[in-house]
Structure 1
């Protein structure tokens, strides 16, 4: 999956800082690689593809915002 071209902020404006965009792109690639590896390993070890997809989606859904508790 291609890195998103635009990273919208809460106000809808895109992140424009070059360094932030670089970090976002690197993180996106790293997450893709790790998820792909975990998915492929699970499927090759006999886990249902749909179950693994669902569990990975649940993992993302369960992420807690770093802003939580900061009043934001």
Structure 2
């Protein structure tokens, strides 16, 4: 996993394509990014150290993110 990908984006874009500017939102986004990056790193390392193929685990993690439901859809 590239270390650069684990660094939070410099700008978070809103649905309108404009950067999010609210400091509290930016703080929460940075905290969430750090938490998710750590959990993904740990899960990836555990899987690989237990013998799972790196490429296969990357696909599992990518598929997991791709399958996340949108919170904008009606429940």
* TM norm. shorter chain > 0.5: yes
TM-score of the pair, normalised by structure 2 = 0.89
The unaligned stretches of length 5 or more in structure 1 are: none
The unaligned stretches of length 5 or more in structure 2 are: 1-5
C-alpha RMSD of the superposition = 1.0
Query: How do 1:1-72 residues align onto structure 2 when only pairs under 5 Å count?
Result: 1-69=6-74
TM-score of the pair, normalised by structure 1 = 0.93
Q: Flag as ranges the 4+ runs of structure 1 deviating above 6 A.
A: none
Structure with the larger RCO, 1 or 2 (CA within 8 Å, 6+ apart): 2
Post-superposition offset of 1:47: 0.5
